Structure 1
Amino acid sequence: MDAMPVILDKDLTRGRSAFEQWKEAARMEHDPRTADPALPRPVKAMAVRFSLHLLEQKAPGPGVEVRVAPWGAVKILDGPASDPHNLTPPDVIELDPDVWLRLASGITSWAEEKEAGHITAVGERDDLSDLLPLY
């Protein structure tokens, strides 16, 4: 059974717009490095889903699961797939939505967010800095 996509094809244009809207709002904040723009929940959700889609396209594979709760998770990079009994890959990265969007848009770096304690990562491949920003 195939996994459900993080965003539907029909929502890609809306997703790109939401991601751009989030980036613009974040850059307008006093300190973009701690950006958490007060945007409507559906806009943030769509921005997260679209950016996760971009990550999945950039580095497809079953080896690392990137979770941005509550709006999405994708599996990326080559490596061992999930254990059939567990369904969780050996490498898991969890991020809050605004942390993920700051990283995806290039406002902050992986090292900055990791040092600040904003990234939870388990496994050998716990650094996505080579994949970010997304564009």
Structure 2
Amino acid sequence: MARRSTVDPAELRAAVLAVRGWLRDESAPPPPRAALAAAVRATVRAVAAAAPGHSVEVRVPPFVAVQCVEGPRHTRGTPPNVVETDPRTWLLLATGLLDFAAAVDSGAVAASGTRAAEVAHWLPITNPD
């Protein structure tokens, strides 16, 4: 699937607002799958648009994987720089409700490779309010 080069800010905001209650309160019922997918895809693609490139792959299964951050292009096999996490953790990072380094330290984010942590430079990508 081709990555969009830009993300509509209104679309991004609406997607994040749709899951805001669940982000702020883990005991709240999870959002519908479609709403969760929209929020994850919009925020990951917004990071990719803000940090164009191919040196780091950001994966939030099962919804999206993109390459971003300027640098050497990866084309085959397992990328040398990968950031992978679950949808809720990603959205907490994308909205500034969780610090990248803290998420890596806790094991909530797997960041492998010497350039993976560079993704943190573009986080948060939006405000949850």
Relative to structure 1, the CA distance from residue 126 to residue 109 in structure 2 (aligned partners, 3 Å threshold; closer, same or farther) is same
Aligned residue in 2 for 1:117: 107
SS in 2 for 1:60: coil
Aligned residue in 2 for 1:82: 74
What residue ranges of structure 2 are gaps of 5+ in the alignment?
A: none
SS in 2 for 1:115: helix
Structure-1-length-normalised TM-score: 0.79
Question: 1:130 aligned to 104, 113, 121, which one?
Answer: 121
Question: 1:39 aligned to 27, 31, 54, which one?
Answer: 31
Residue 58 (structure 1) aligned with residue 50 (structure 2): yes
Aligned residue in 1 for 2:17: 20
Structure-2-length-normalised TM-score: 0.82
Relative to structure 1, the CA distance from residue 89 to residue 80 in structure 2 (aligned partners, 3 Å threshold; closer, same or farther) is farther
| Contact 2:23/2:91 (<8 A) preserved | no
SS in 2 for 1:62: coil
What residue ranges of structure 1 are gaps of 5+ in the alignment?
A: none
| Contact 2:5/2:49 (<8 A) preserved | no
Distance 1:14 1:98 in 2: 19
Aligned residue in 2 for 1:72: 64
Q: How many residues align?
A: 125
SS in 2 for 1:121: strand
Any idea what the Cα deviations from partners look like across 1:74-132, whole Å, max 9, x if unmatched? 1111111114xx25432111111111000000001012211211111221012122211
SS in 1 for 2:84: strand
SS in 1 for 2:53: strand
Identical counterparts, % of pairs: 34
Distance 1:18 1:45 in 2: 9
Structure 1 residue 12: Cα displacement: 7.4
Distance 1:47 1:102 in 2: 11
Any idea what the Cα deviations from partners look like across 1:15-67, whole Å, max 9, x if unmatched? 5412222124422x1xxxx6775100110001000001110111000110000
CA RMSD of aligned residues (A): 2.6
